[in-house]
Structure 1
Amino acid sequence: MKNIELGQRLKDLREYHHYTQEYISSKLNIERPSYSNYECGKRTPPLDLIIRLCNFYQVSLDDLLCNPKFSPCAATMEGIPPSSGEDEEALLHYYRLLPDDSKREILQYLQFKFQQAKKQ
């Protein structure tokens, strides 16, 4: 895989989750300019960092690096059951009405709750 393709996939994942480069780099304990170089395709992230990114985004290494039909939405939705009805539709409706910063907070909270549920 070319650096530019991996970089674009990393950027797509980050933007899909409404994260900033600053946020991702702080979570990975790296400098923001280093992360930016990975997204731009100027540098290739080391394998251990790629694995940490896969874990962070909950995508497989194979999907991130090899899947020609990779999509951040499909990769993160794998294994999620179909819509459960009115509650989910209401959640989506109100979410779409929120400003971007509130959306990020809601997503972070949902990810936190999901991680808690996985530990139980």
Structure 2
Amino acid sequence: MKRILLLCCLFIGLTAASYSQTTKKTTTDPVEKAKSLQKELKLTDDQTTKVAAVYKESSEKFEKIKVADQGNTDKMMKDIGPLRTSTINQIKAILTPAQAASYDKLIKENKGGKSNGWSDGWSATSES
């Protein structure tokens, strides 16, 4: 009986630990996203301000796309492609070559379907 109880406690503990490591908090605030990117890439305050402005502009354009596409996910995905590319290029223009290389790694690491927000102006995840 004690073994069963011990196994149950172990299972619950492992499940809780696993869940806490994968839970992410989403933010769409351009300033918060820029600050998060500042930590990742060691941006200067001036760079962070410029990145926040890029994220803000991108977020506004994304909202217009959402309204225009009226919930048509396929059309919206097609329409945000150029916006995402433009946002990436604008941010890379602000970065140093070393920061741009690190930024590319961030984008590639998270390209597998989960939006990390580094490359767009409307979604981001940060550790909770």
TM-score range, shorter chain: under 0.3
After TM superposition, the score normalised by the length of structure 2 is 0.25
Larger radius of gyration: 2
